Amino acid sequence: MAAPSARERILETAFALFYARGIRAVGVDLIIAESGVAKATFYRHFPAKDELVLAYLDKVDGIWSGQLRAAAEAAGEDPAEQLVGLFDALTTACRREGYRGCAFINAAAESVPGTPVHERTVAHKDAVRTWVTDLAERAGAADPQGLARSLTLLLDGGLSDGALSASPDAPARAKETARLLVDAHTG
Mean pLDDT in residue range 149-154: 98
Model's pTM, two decimal places?
Answer: 0.92
168 vs 46, higher pLDDT: 46
CATH architecture of 1-47: Orthogonal Bundle (1.10)
- For residue 62, what pLDDT band results from cuts at 50, 70 and 90? very high
Whether 93 shows a pLDDT value over 80: the answer reads yes
1-47 and 53-186 in the same fold: no
The pLDDT of residue 37:
96
Q: Identify the CATH number of the domain defined by range 53-186.
A: 1.10.357.10
d(CA 105, CA 126): 13
Q: Would you kindly state where each structural domain of the chain is located, as residue ranges?
A: 1-47, 53-186
Q: What percent of the chain shows pLDDT beyond 90? A: 83
Look up residue 69 and give its amino acid.
R
Which range is least confidently modeled, 49-58, 98-107, 124-133, 172-181? Answer: 98-107
3-state secondary structure the chain: CCCCCHHHHHHHHHHHHHHHHCCCCCCHHHHHHHHCCCHHHHHHHCCCHHHHHHHHHHHHHHHHHHHHHHHHHHCCCCHHHHHHHCCHHHHHHHCCCCCCCCHHHHHHHHCCCCCHHHHHHHHHHHHHHHHHHHHHHHCCCCCHHHHHHHHHHHHHHHHHHHHHCCCCCHHHHHHHHHHHHHHHHHC
